[in-house]
Structure 1
Amino acid sequence: MRPMLATPTVTIPSGDAWQHEVKWDGMRVLADVSEGALTVWSRTERDVTVAFPELGGLATEYADMLLDGEIVSMQGGTPSFAALAERFHVTDARKARQLAEQAPVTLMTFDLLRLYGVELMDRPWSDRRATLERLELDSPRWQTPPTFDDGVVLHEATKEQGLEGIVSKRVDSRYTPGVRSPFWLKSPHRGTVSVVIGGWRPESTGTVRSRLGAVLVGVPGPGGLRYLGRVGSGLAGKLGTALMRELEPLASDESPFGTEVPAVDALGATWVHPVLVADVQSLGLGGQGRLRQPAYKGLRVDLTPGDVDEQGLGE
């Protein structure tokens, strides 16, 4: 099952029909406790349990429950997506335990979909939330952050604290798996979008093609990717080196873009098969449909190109 998604908005709703939560910068998961064991599912329905051994204790809290939440890696008091990205790829249990000891993650739970075998998705959000809070999930490794009545105040507070933004939810909303719902609205500060990588350029367009300089990105559209621009910021250091290892075996003779890539961006580019999804921060789209001041945040191994859409540009 895939989680319910939020729709982007520029207007924060108000009134008794809405409640508001912090939008965490992490990895969206469903945490399923059943028969004394925990299974953690990514947005693409991939079993990522082995990558997060520090969450295993959830199975001792209650005998049966299905939680929706966000796994975050806290660095200096705020979530760091870059720090979390290293955990996505881990399939070796020993390495996962080492990473968990060095920098453990926390599961921020915000919805309860099943409890003791009773499905709750058709119940209003307010009922599900009240039941979730009664579970009193509160530990260093999992917790249920509060909700707030005033979305505007929360939006400003999260901006001051360096958090990603807020999510506003209709109190009467049912849970609709896999749907980008108008009853959940997200209001990020500097928007994070998910895009597909279609090519890359080295730092220099000369004869020496050493370090990664930029990636060319887009979203799926008719005839190929719709070009959104060149992303160079954020590729220095380990992130860029790791991404280069992923890109090299994907080289292609043909551009995957269905819209024109300007010559200045295509100069010296190596096209790749469009299979990698990355998160990019930006100030939105400019007049030519290009991302404004984009910065690379990391690969989303929990997403496929089919999960990226033009409406939300990811989640």
Structure 2
Amino acid sequence: MRPMLATATATVPDGPRWAHEVKWDGMRVLADVSEGRLQLFTRTERDVTVAFPELLPLAAEFADMLLDGEVVCLRDGIPSFAALADRFHVTDARRAARLAEANPATLMSFDLLRLYGVDLMARAWSDRRATLERLELEGARWQTPPTFDDGRVLHAATRDQGLEGVVSKRVDSPYLPGQRSALWLKAPHRATVSVVIGGWRPESTGTVASRLGAVLVGVPGPGGLRYLGRVGSGLAGRTGQALLQDLEPLTAAESPFGTEVPRVDALGTRWVHPVLVADVQSLGLGGQGRLRQPAWKGLRDDLTPGDVEPPEGL
């Protein structure tokens, strides 16, 4: 099963029909506890249980439950997507245990979909939430963060605290697995967009010709990727070198873009097969349909190109 998704909004709704939560900068998971064991599944239904051994004791809390939440790695109380990116691709149990000790993750649970075999998804969000809070899931590695009545105050507070934004939910909303619904709205402070990498460019300066300087990105469209621009900010140093190791085996003879790539961007680009998904932050789309001031966040091993949707306004 895939989780319910929120629709982007520029305005946080108000009034008694809405409740509001912090938007966490992490990886969305469904946490399934059954028969004494925990399984964690990503948005694409990939099992990532082995990557987070510190969450396994959650199975001792209740015999049967299905939680919707976000796995985060906190740095001084603030989620760090870069820190999390070192965790969710791990498939070796011994390496995962070492990383869990050095860089532990926390599950932020915000919805309850099943309890003791009873499917709760058709019930109103307010009922599901009240039941979740009665479980009192507060441990060293899992939390049930609070909800708030005033979304606009929360939006300002999350901006001041360096958090990602706000998710607003209709209190009467059922849970719609796999659907992106206007019953849930997300208002990030700086939009995060999932994109597919179609090529990379070496640095234009320095003596190392193979050092990555930027990636060319797009979203799936007719005839190939629709070009959204190149991203270089945030790819300096070890981040760029690690990404280059992932890109080099994907070398392709031709551009995977179905729309025109400007000559200034295409010149010197090494094309790759469009299989890697990444998150970038931007100030939206410019007049030519390009991302404005994009900055690299990290690879999304939990997503495939088929999960990527065009950004708002495209």
Q: Same fold (TM over 0.5)?
A: yes
SS in structure 1 of the partner of residue 145 of structure 2: coil
Residue 300 (structure 1) aligns with = 300
- TM-superposed CA distance for 1:172, in Å, is 0.5
- In 1, the alpha carbon distance for the partners of 2:259 and 2:134 equals 51
Identity %: 78
- In 1, the alpha carbon distance for the partners of 2:205 and 2:180 equals 41
Give, as a single letter, the amino acid of the residue that structure 2 aligns with 1:310. P
Residue 22 (structure 1) aligns with = 22
Instruction: Give matches, 1:59-98, under 5 Å.
Output: 59-98=59-98
- TM-superposed CA distance for 1:23, in Å, is 0.2
Residue 246 (structure 1) aligns with = 246
Residue 106 (structure 1) aligns with = 106
- Which TM-score applies when normalising by structure 2? 0.98
Instruction: Give matches, 1:191-210, under 5 Å.
Output: 191-204=191-204, 209-210=209-210
SS in structure 1 of the partner of residue 87 of structure 2: helix
- TM-superposed CA distance for 1:241, in Å, is 1.4
Gap regions ≥5 residues in structure 1: none
- In 2, the alpha carbon distance for the partners of 1:15 and 1:3 equals 26
Give, as a single letter, the amino acid of the residue that structure 2 aligns with 1:250. L
- In 2, the alpha carbon distance for the partners of 1:53 and 1:252 equals 37
Give, as a single letter, the amino acid of the residue that structure 1 aligns with 2:22. V
- TM-superposed CA distance for 1:311, in Å, is 5.0
Residue 167 (structure 1) aligns with = 167
- In 1, the alpha carbon distance for the partners of 2:159 and 2:205 equals 39
- TM-superposed CA distance for 1:11, in Å, is 1.4
- In 2, the alpha carbon distance for the partners of 1:189 and 1:206 equals 35
Gap regions ≥5 residues in structure 2: none
- In 1, the alpha carbon distance for the partners of 2:163 and 2:89 equals 25
Kindly indicate whether the alpha-carbon contact (under 8 Å) linking 2:112 and 2:128 is maintained by their aligned counterparts in 1.
Answer: yes
SS in structure 2 of the partner of residue 87 of structure 1: coil
Give, as a single letter, the amino acid of the residue that structure 1 aligns with 2:176. T
SS in structure 1 of the partner of residue 126 of structure 2: helix
- In 1, the alpha carbon distance for the partners of 2:76 and 2:240 equals 23
Cα separation, partners in 2 of 1:192 and 1:311, compared to 1, 3 Å:
closer
- In 1, the alpha carbon distance for the partners of 2:63 and 2:312 equals 36
Over the residues paired in the alignment, what is the CA RMSD in angstroms? Answer: 1.3
Give, as a single letter, the amino acid of the residue that structure 1 aligns with 2:70. E
Kindly indicate whether the alpha-carbon contact (under 8 Å) linking 1:20 and 1:147 is maintained by their aligned counterparts in 2.
Answer: yes
- In 2, the alpha carbon distance for the partners of 1:279 and 1:50 equals 23
Moved over 3 A (4+): 205-208
Give, as a single letter, the amino acid of the residue that structure 2 aligns with 1:132. L
Give, as a single letter, the amino acid of the residue that structure 1 aligns with 2:228. L
